[in-house]
Amino acid sequence: MSALPKPIADATTRSEPPRNAASRMRRMVAGTRDEWRRAPWTVRLSIICLLMFYLFAAASPVFAPYDPTHQYRNLPDCPPMRLHLAPPSQWSHGFFFAYPLTMTDAMARRFSEDRTRRTWVRLFHRGHLFTTDSPADPYFMLGSENLGRDLFSRIVYGARVSMCIGLVGVFISFSLGIMVGAFSGLMGGMTDNLIMRWCEIEMSLPSFYFLLALAAVIPSGMSTVATFFMIVAIMAFISWAGFARVIRGMAAAVRSAPFVEAGRALGASRTRLLLRHVIPTVLGFAAVNASLSIPGYILGESSLSLLGLGIQEPAASWGNLLSQAMDPQNIEHYPWVLIPGIFISLAVMAFNFLGDYMRDRLDPANLN
């Protein structure tokens, strides 16, 4: 008698989680679709731009047609090559081709097209999104820099540093700022005063010059990965204090809230009050400010790399790719060296548009 209900109960128990999980997934997809439709075109374009940049960082070997460190000594400061559509009768060779460039004036870095040959550009060839049949016969979509390296390949690989440094830096600084600020606001008294005075001392330091001083002590022989994490740690150490002070004010306001007093009356420890009551109330504000702070990390890394204190050659970042643009004559004769700056500007504007939209959407006055 007891064996008959068990299969029914077990079947009901086994069937409910998939149905609930599927319904939650459908609600999440529907909510995401509604937010996408509600967002203005600037936010949609920003999201697409950021997804493309992070896709560059995640799949750099696929999107970059060539090795970013390979030097084409016969093609330094080569201008972008024009892409041509092949006639249908030649589609067996490829859909697109470019005429190779040859240097006609080594002093002025002048190039001319060799119309006697064609460089066929193949899609999804040899594990790349696009490349040529032979690496010795390149196609420079965005031109080359002064050492003859493909600028587009270096921009794609530079996204690994310039786009990831913001996420890692914000994660470190905001985690530290939330914990310190929430703890200070919850404790109050002498502990609160000491922590806030320390934050004010850090905030009084000129951040950029202090950043230069700390970055100057990075050993020159460090690897690229170690240099990356050193820069992230230095920038996070500088920027956490201001955020912790804002979080402290919010936590101090929540400290006397009824739900916190109820938890304290029930015997909850300070750690539990901090993790279960105080910190969750400030996470919405933290998420908005995190998105607005990422551009600061991108610009900070770009400034350090531009001055030679960040990511060093031959590794690529969007900042050190702009080092050639510090010479006005290079800008006049080789304007394509400014293209990495366009990528920096697009990333910064995209994060700002997205952060402003998140701030407006999470505003209690705008919630519907």
* pLDDT tens-digit map of 314-358: 888 898 888 888 888 888 889 999 999 999 999 999 998 988 888
Whole-angstrom distance, CA of residue 180 vs CA of residue 243: 10
In DSSP notation, 223-235 reads: -HHHHHHHHHHHH
Instruction: Provide the mean pLDDT of the chain.
Output: 82
* pLDDT tens-digit map of 193-234: 898 888 888 888 777 777 777 667 777 677 777 777 777 877
Helix (H, G, I), strand (E, B) or coil at 266: coil
Torsion sign over Cα 310, 311, 314, 318 = negative
pTM of the complete model: 0.81
Could you check whether the bond before residue 328 is cis, i.e. omega within 30 degrees of 0?
A: no
120 has which bridge partners? 97
Whole-angstrom distance, CA of residue 171 vs CA of residue 236: 9
103 has which bridge partners? 111
Angstrom CA distances, 28 to 22, 48, 107, stand at 10, 19, 60
| Residue 368 CB burial class (10 angstroms; 0-12, 13-18, ≥19) | exposed
Q: Report the pLDDT value the prediction gives residue 2, as an integer from 0 to 100.
A: 45
Q: What 8-state DSSP symbol labels residue 320?
A: G
User: Sorting pLDDT into bands at 50, 70 and 90, what band is 12?
Assistant: very low
Whole-angstrom distance, CA of residue 287 vs CA of residue 120: 47
Angle at 31 between CA 25 and CA 35, to 5 degrees: 145
Closest CA to 196 of 238, 256, 246, 255: 246
| Radius of gyration of the chain, Cα coordinates, nearest whole angstrom | 27
Whole-angstrom distance, CA of residue 42 vs CA of residue 284: 22
Angstrom CA distances, 304 to 3, 113, 171, 218, stand at 72, 38, 20, 12
**What average pLDDT does this structure show over 281-287?**
74
If one counts every other C-beta atom within 10 angstroms of the C-beta of residue 344, the result is: 21
* pLDDT tens-digit map of 23-53: 878 888 887 888 888 889 999 999 999 999 9
**What average pLDDT does this structure show over 237-247?**
81
Lowest pLDDT segment from 68-77, 128-137, 239-248: 239-248
**What average pLDDT does this structure show over 96-122?**
88
User: Sorting pLDDT into bands at 50, 70 and 90, what band is 89?
Assistant: confident
Contact 211, 218 (CB under 8 A): no
If one counts every other C-beta atom within 10 angstroms of the C-beta of residue 63, the result is: 20
Instruction: State the angle between helix axes of 151-187 and 41-58 in degrees (0 to 180), rounded to the nearest 10.
Output: 110
Question: Mind listing the domains of the chain with CATH numbers?
Answer: 81-139 (no CATH), 151-361 (1.10.3720.10)
